[in-house]
Amino acid sequence: MTSEHRPGQERFVAPLEETPLKAVDSVDTSSPPTSMWSDAWRSLRRNPLFLVSAALILFLILVVAFPSLFTDENPRRCLLSENSLGAPRAGHPFGFDQQGCDVFARVVYGARASVTVGILTTLFVVVIGGILGALAGFYGGLLDAILSRVTDVFFAIPLVLAAIVGLQMLKNIRGDSPGFVLSVLPVILALAAFGWPQVMRIMRGAVLTVKNMEYIDAATSIGATRRRNLVRHVVPNALAPVIVVATVSLGIFIVAESTLSYLGLGLPSRVMSWGNDIAQAQNVVGTAPRVLFYPASALALTVLSFILLGDAVRDALDPKARKR
Amino acid sequence: MSEPLLEIVDLQVAFGPKKKPVTAVRGASLTIYPGQTVAIVGESGSGKSTTAHAVIDLLPGNGRVVGGAIRFEGRDITHVKKDEIIALRGSSIGLVPQDPLSNLNPLWKIGFQIREALVANGVASGAEAKARAAELLTEAGLPDAERRANQYPHEFSGGMRQRALIAMGLAARPKLLIADEPTSALDVTVQKQILDHLDGLTDELGVAVMLITHDLGLAAERADHLVVMYQGRVVESGPALDILQRPEHPYTQRLVSKAPSLASQRLSSERARAEVREQAVQTAGEIAAEVAQSSQELGEGRATVIEASNLTRVFALRGSVPWQSIDFKAVDDVSFSLRRGTTTAIVGESGSGKSTVARMVLGLLPPTSGTVTFDGVDVSTLKGKDLLRLRRQMQPIFQNPYGSLDPMYSIYRTIEEPLRTHKVGTSKEREAKIRDLLDKVALPSSVMRRFPNELSGGQRQRVAIARALALDPEVVICDEAVSALDVLVQAQILELLNDLQAELGLSYLFITHDLAVVRQIADDVLVMQDGKVIEQSSVSEVFDDPRESYTRKLLDAIPGGSITLGA
């Protein structure tokens, strides 16, 4: 077929000054270097979801660390006769509960127990689940079979139910009048003991994907041992999904702690916590609903912030959203 | 003279936010007449696919046309309503996408997916559509079409899937078929079959084809009119042969001179290769003498550095019932040797077992039977310190430059890793070594602080080469090391490998599916098919006088091999 001189198909050569030739595959040295994490950070910084949740969480941490910055009231100074179910007034914006304690002060001071339980439980869960998941996924075979079945067994038990049983068994370590640490520790241990299966499964899945990547082969042919591969290459690359799950489950553990405290099994009533206060408030929910409302709202807001943070982090670490 | 079917005039396409748009196409013009095949050639990022997708309004994400006009049969379709474009898709303009795997819905039968195309365009419905789907599959070159139409995509090979997609693209008898790199994911022999078939079919039906490809040889062989794109612009266009014989724009000249498939390349690359070999063998001889003296190094300094004898690898595949397994011989009785300072290439299509051989040589996979000896030492018996020594003297470069670098490691740490693993030098000495290595692979030392995701495929592959050379190995195993790269980058990496071989006296085992590349880098060739070595000789013998019909088939399938260039 001759198509030499059809209109629109004549021989055309672009003038060189309009299309300057660049060196083949030259390195772009203009942009600053970025790693996966700094990439993720950049996309997080622009995400309103992240900004809101991060601000809330920072505020919460401030409350936990320095409660006295936010209230001058002593939450333990309760005047049953004068203030029982007293209405809000100057200096006491949330009013008083049945015992005559300042509700605002109790919400502020109660944050410490809830957040401590949430963060420490998540830490334990990530360590236990992460290690078991990494071992199972990386070494496979019999070890994987055993660890995976054990995980399935733990996964099948409802978290709160299992924690109730666990707390009954841990009753003894508390003693009669435990301090803050001994009060919180059994709850953390009970929740961690049954909370890790989800992290284990996610870690195992991520490790299974990562261990087949070519850079693992490359490291092996450099002379890296299996253990070195696992620690240096596989685990760091498999961590992203675990971090996402951990952020979301932090909220879930705070809820679980409240549930346990509400049932009278979690933190002893001497320890101030949102769960305990909610449990106390149910007696008067008909007459003074605000006594229930404030600790419950604080709890909901905290959990929501962590879940939003988890969502934002997931978006940022999504490999599809990252530039190749 | 007929009217143009498609006219693109000064097209501009931009991505990204309105305030800060990134222009992908900046002024592309081309014309396609009815029944004509026009090829758009360019490297990745040149805007060739974007141009094609703009025609049927399939720009990804927030891509949009910001200037110019697209006219189809004289009608401006640049800014028409969505439903008018939808009416055009399929019935007037068909598309054969690039990746046959991800473009078929794995949950539906092939026949159903073709029927969908027929029904959506109002061509046929019901039982008629069913019969028509089978006809279309037969037409696309699938034997036993009625049974095939009832199968799922996973039961099809890559080539068969691409045929099904061609059947779909042609289902409503469009006037224009856009084929976006239709065969780049396929083996060369399958590629040839499919393109031959597509040629015949579109000729018969009078369909115009817009062929998008990165391969100049392939474009010239299949198209009447060529459009060369570079950095979002058309830099040269005109009759295919004319452009190939007298490229005028420097970019086109570069493409023509680097295309490995074109016949003109043969002599010059053979001559250059002979020079490289001479120098490499000499340097390698000196290294061998040192190795023979040294007690630190593994081996005896033999002239044959790697010898594989009767390598066999059997994989157990899952049978029809869980307790059954079927033995599959991936590699069957393969023997070869690699002489010091030379390159032995293993050529074969996917599934031929060539990569399995590489993994066995590297000691990443134990052979079922047979042995690999490295300089007189049986690789499989090595343990501990000796194995570390072997790792040091034999290094791999893998195919996928996106997968072979740890994304969490900076370039500095990536190249430093082998030195750390083997506890070589102090951190000062290591840094000096890394700078030297980056220099060797022609990367600026400023990339040290960067991460793999910031580099292009070719740059990553250069980092992988630097990492492989960090321990001063004697042998480098290149497993499809250049096949994921654009032609020009590929030529650049091959040149680099050649220079390094001459300078350092390296020996390469070069695994590839592309015979065209072999000429530029290899001295001896093994052709593999179904796990067996079917031909084994020197490069010039294989190219000039192939003994096996399969080798001849592979040679014939190299696109553009038959085109003669003037002068």
What is residue B567's predicted lDDT score, i.e. its pLDDT? 37
Paired tokens of A47: 């995400």
CATH architecture for residues B265-318+329-404+474-557:
3-Layer(aba) Sandwich (3.40)
Q: Give the DSSP letter of residue B124.
A: -
Nearest of B455, B453, B512 to residue B480 by alpha carbon: B512
What is residue B272's predicted lDDT score, i.e. its pLDDT? 79
pLDDT per residue as tens digits for the range B485-540? 888 888 888 889 999 999 888 999 999 988 888 888 889 999 999 889 999 998 88
> What value does the mean pLDDT take over residues B411-435?
90
ipTM for the complex shown = 0.76
Could you tell me the strand order of the sheet in which B475-479 lies?
B394-397, B475-479, B507-512, B343-347, B524-529, B532-538
For testing the chain B interface, which of A25, A43, A320 should be mutated: the one with the most B CBs within 10 Å? A25
Say yes or no to pLDDT of B474 above 70.
Answer: yes
> What value does the mean pLDDT take over residues B75-97?
87
Residue of A28, A214, A223 with shortest CB distance to B422: A223
Q: How confident is the model at residue A39 (pLDDT cuts 50, 70, 90)?
A: confident
What is residue B297's predicted lDDT score, i.e. its pLDDT? 73
Residue of A9, A213, A233 with shortest CB distance to B31: A9
* CA–CA distance, B167 with A257 (Å, rounded to integer): 60
Contact B403 A215 (CB under 8 A): yes
Contact A143, A136 (CB under 8 A): yes
* CA–CA distance, B538 with B558 (Å, rounded to integer): 19
The shortest C-alpha distance from B399 to chain A (Å) reads: 9
Say yes or no to pLDDT of B207 above 60.
Answer: yes
Residue of B224, B235, B453 with shortest CB distance to A3: B224
For tokens 């023509």, what's the residue? B256
Nearest CA in chain B to A323: B453
Query: Cα angle vertex B242, ends B240, B243, to 5°?
Result: 70
For testing the chain A interface, which of B246, B417, B447, B485 should be mutated: the one with the most A CBs within 10 Å? B417
Contact B30 A8 (CB under 8 A): yes
Q: Which domains does chain A have, with CATH numbers?
A: 37-84+92-317 (1.10.3720.10)
Percent of chain A with pLDDT over 70: 90
> What value does the mean pLDDT take over residues A18-31?
72
> What value does the mean pLDDT take over residues B93-115?
87
Contact A6 B239 (CB under 8 A): no
Residues whose CB is less than 8 angstroms from the CB of residue B413 and which lie 6 or more positions away in sequence, other chains included = none
Domain ranges of chain B: 101-173, 265-318+329-404+474-557
- Say which range, A199-208, A216-225, B185-194, has the weakest mean pLDDT: B185-194
**Exposure string (b/e) for B160-170, b if CB count within 10 Å is 16 or more?**
bbbbbbbbbbb
Contact A13 B235 (CB under 8 A): yes
Contact A281, A269 (CB under 8 A): no
Contact B242 A11 (CB under 8 A): yes
The shortest C-alpha distance from B395 to chain A (Å) reads: 7
Contact A217 B398 (CB under 8 A): yes
Q: B368 in helix, strand or coil?
A: coil
Residue of A8, A213, A237 with shortest CB distance to B31: A8
Say yes or no to pLDDT of B278 above 50.
Answer: yes
What is residue B321's predicted lDDT score, i.e. its pLDDT? 73
Paired tokens of A10: 């004549």
Q: Torsion angle of alpha carbons B207, B212, B214, B215, nearest 10°?
A: 0
What is residue B86's predicted lDDT score, i.e. its pLDDT? 87
What is residue B511's predicted lDDT score, i.e. its pLDDT? 92
pLDDT per residue as tens digits for the range B16-63? 777 788 888 988 999 999 989 999 998 888 889 899 999 988 888 778
Q: 3-state secondary structure string, chain A?
A: CCCCCCCCCCCEECCCCCCCCCCCCCCCCCCCCCCHHHHHHHHHHCCHHHHHHHHHHHHHHHHHHCHHHCCCCCCCCCCHHHHCCCCCECCECCCECCCCCEHHHHHHHHHHHHHHHHHHHHHHHHHHHHHHHHHHHHHCHHHHHHHHHHHHHHHHCCHHHHHHHHHHHHHHHHCCCCCHHHHHHHHHHHHHHHHHHHHHHHHHHHHHHHCCCHHHHHHHHHCCCHHHHHHHHHHHHHHHHHHHHHHHHHHHHHHHHHHHHHCCCCCCCCCCCHHHHHHHHHHHCCCCCHHHHHHHHHHHHHHHHHHHHHHHHHHHHCCCCCCC
Contact A264, A271 (CB under 8 A): no
For tokens 């068969």, what's the residue? B160
> What value does the mean pLDDT take over residues A276-280?
83
The shortest C-alpha distance from B287 to chain A (Å) reads: 21
Contact B251 A19 (CB under 8 A): yes
Contact B237, B225 (CB under 8 A): yes
What is residue B160's predicted lDDT score, i.e. its pLDDT? 86
Contacts 24+ apart (CB under 8 A), B365-368: B365/B313, B367/B311, B367/B312, B367/B313, B367/B331, B368/B312, B368/B313, B368/B314
pLDDT per residue as tens digits for the range B282-305? 888 888 788 777 777 777 777 888
Say yes or no to pLDDT of A43 above 80.
Answer: no
Could you tell me the strand order of the sheet in which B377-378 lies?
B325-339, B304-318, B369-374, B377-378
Percent of chain B with pLDDT over 70: 96
Q: 3-state secondary structure string, B452-508?
A: HHHCCHHHHHHHHHHHHHCCCCCEEEEECCCCCCCHHHHHHHHHHHHHHHHHHCCEE
* CA–CA distance, A286 with A304 (Å, rounded to integer): 26
Say yes or no to pLDDT of B263 above 60.
Answer: no
> What value does the mean pLDDT take over residues B83-95?
88
> What value does the mean pLDDT take over residues B415-421?
91
Contact B388 A228 (CB under 8 A): no
Query: Cα angle vertex B311, ends B306, B315, to 5°?
Result: 135
B75: left (phi over 0), alpha (psi -120 to 50) or beta: beta
Residues whose CB is less than 8 angstroms from the CB of residue B428 and which lie 6 or more positions away in sequence, other chains included = none
Residue of B36, B362, B403 with shortest CB distance to A213: B403
Q: Mean pLDDT, chain B, as a whole number? A: 86
For tokens 């025609």, what's the residue? B55
Residue of A25, A215, A233 with shortest CB distance to B492: A25
Percent of chain B with pLDDT over 90: 24
Contact B176, B93 (CB under 8 A): yes
* CA–CA distance, A257 with A259 (Å, rounded to integer): 5
* CA–CA distance, B111 with B100 (Å, rounded to integer): 15
> What value does the mean pLDDT take over residues A279-301?
84
pLDDT per residue as tens digits for the range A158-179? 888 888 888 888 777 766 667 7
Strands B22-32 and B176-180: unpaired
What is residue B566's predicted lDDT score, i.e. its pLDDT? 45
* CA–CA distance, B327 with B317 (Å, rounded to integer): 6
Contact B455, B318 (CB under 8 A): no
Contact A10 B364 (CB under 8 A): no
What is residue B265's predicted lDDT score, i.e. its pLDDT? 58
Size of interface A-B (CB pairs under 8 A): 156
For testing the chain A interface, which of B359, B450, B459 should be mutated: the one with the most A CBs within 10 Å? B450
Contact B364 A217 (CB under 8 A): yes
> Could you give the C-alpha distances from A240 to A199, A210, A316, B413, in angstroms and in order?
12, 12, 10, 20
Residue of A14, A218, A233 with shortest CB distance to B249: A14
Say yes or no to pLDDT of B266 above 70.
Answer: no
Say yes or no to pLDDT of B107 above 50.
Answer: yes
Chain B residues within an 8 Å CB radius of A39: 453
Measured N-to-C along each axis, helices A180-210 and A103-139 cross at an angle, to the nearest 10 degrees, of 40
> What value does the mean pLDDT take over residues A6-12?
81
